[in-house]
Amino acid sequence: MYSVLIISVGILLVSCEGKKYEDAVYTRYQTLVNTTEKRLCYVIETNVGRDTVISDGNDSSSVVFRKKSTIETGFSLAWERWIAEVNVMQETLFNLSDTSKFVPSNKGLSESSENDLIYYRHFSVTENKLSTANNPIMYFNLHFTDSIVDIMHKDYTMLEKFPEYYK
């Protein structure tokens, strides 16, 4: 009984020592690898901002999202130590060559449609060898192939969204 109390007080004293903080940066590279002749526009909205990738065909282009945060270090409970990630909130892939687009549901794999699953199969995710627990560097690559063209839907509003392309 007393040993449990002594251990509890010891843990409390150790965890109440001066808190230390450290900067952390989560870096997410979002790349479109276009293996077709199609001209594409890939719009990515994250919890830290929005950016666009343009591809003219048979090329690859990237955008970078970073989220800086401060984390508590030292002895702390597991749920107190975390890094705020860069999360994609919405993606839209436009095929300018034929006025079609695809918008995945981003509901997670368990609630995804068949077309979402086809889309997600074209992603590869890797971690940079220089990543650390406090500074992860992640690469999310979308490999655009003719399989994705098959799941895209016509959207003639693109004629108004991209007037410079459809002149």
The answer to whether residue 15 sits within a structural domain is: no
For 16-39, the pLDDT digits (tens) are 556 678 888 999 999 999 999 999
The total number of structural domains that make up the chain: 1
Buried b (16+ CB within 10 A) or exposed e, 17-47: eeeeeeebebbbbbbbbbebebbbbbbbebe
The answer to whether residue 7 sits within a structural domain is: no
Domain limits at 147? 20-161
- What is the Cα–Cα distance from 87 to 45, expressed in whole angstroms? 9
- Model confidence, pTM: 0.82
For 144-153, the pLDDT digits (tens) are 999 999 999 9
